[in-house]
Amino acid sequence: MKPNLKAASLAATCAVLLTVATMVGAHDMNGMDMSDDSGQSSNSGAMGAMGKHMMIGDHMTMTPTRTQTPADAQRGEEIIATMRRVLTRYQDSEVAVAAGYIPYMPTVPQDVYHFANRALTADEYLGDVSIERPGALLFERKTFGGYKLVGAMYSAPANHTLDQLDAIIPLSLTHWHAHTNICLPAGVTEQDVMNGDIRGHFSASIPNNPMGFSARAGTRMRFGYLADPRFGFAGTISSAADCEAVGGNFHPQIFGWMVHVYPFHSDDLKVAFSTEAP
């Protein structure tokens, strides 16, 4: 398998679509019990959105929590130290852009903006994951303009095992997540999702769509096919049968594994590896 546009746009596209998906609503995952280390996520099939908070719904699989060891804690401290050292150069978002980290849909209101490097993201989805070379940088928009660097997102192949993910960032420190059971409407392809085209190649002919398919840029409204609450990363449809019944196309998983890390806010590993941005 060679790096291609599909692989290269995975992380950035996921970030934007799931940010938009927060408009559908969900429950905060704080306090969720993810202590099962049987090899399967204790929240298989649960999904929400990536932003200020990680939410839970019907479309996310998360890695279980493992018991933290002294080696894990040491590894976590090394990861934070490395990230602080290599990411400092990107405190200026213009430097990040010059290095190939491109902001994805910056006009769409988001809690955390993903600046994705296509080449590095492609490497990650081929299994070449390096703490020194994150596929995406995470920025918050400043009140009076510009961006503030808060962290980075790492991705890994969808077929990575728990042990392989643990070797990158220990499962005792954080929860990797994967987006699963996604129903897309007829005319919207997986490639549309990869490319960040939330409208796809379809007309406003999907039934039972009282909200329509358009919204002004910069508003907290549903966009494109997400205007129909049945579809997408926070849609009400999460099974192949229900998706087929409405003429949609079902995807057991879109994208691979992903994780956010926030190294700048605190030396506390629970903060740095939290599923919530500082």
pLDDT digits (tens, 9 = 90+) for 199-216: 654 433 333 333 233 333
Q: What is the b/e burial string over 41-52, where b = at least 16 CB atoms within 10 angstroms of the residue's CB?
A: bbbeebbbbbbe
* Greatest extent of the chain over all pairs of C-alpha atoms, in Å: 57
Report the pLDDT value the prediction gives residue 197, as an integer from 0 to 100.
66
Q: Are 29 and 275 in contact (CB under 8 A)?
A: yes
Q: What is the chain's pLDDT, residue by residue, as a tens digit (278 residues)?
A: 444 444 444 444 444 334 333 333 333 333 344 444 444 433 333 333 333 334 456 788 889 999 999 999 999 999 999 999 999 999 999 999 999 999 877 777 888 999 999 899 999 999 999 999 999 999 999 988 899 999 999 999 999 999 999 999 999 999 999 888 999 998 888 777 766 666 654 433 333 333 233 333 333 335 566 678 899 888 899 999 999 999 999 998 888 899 999 999 899 999 999 988 87
Which residue type occupies 225?
A: Y
pLDDT digits (tens, 9 = 90+) for 59-88: 888 899 999 999 999 999 999 999 999 999
Residues in the chain: 278
Quote the CA–CA distance of 96 and 89 in Å, as a whole number.
8
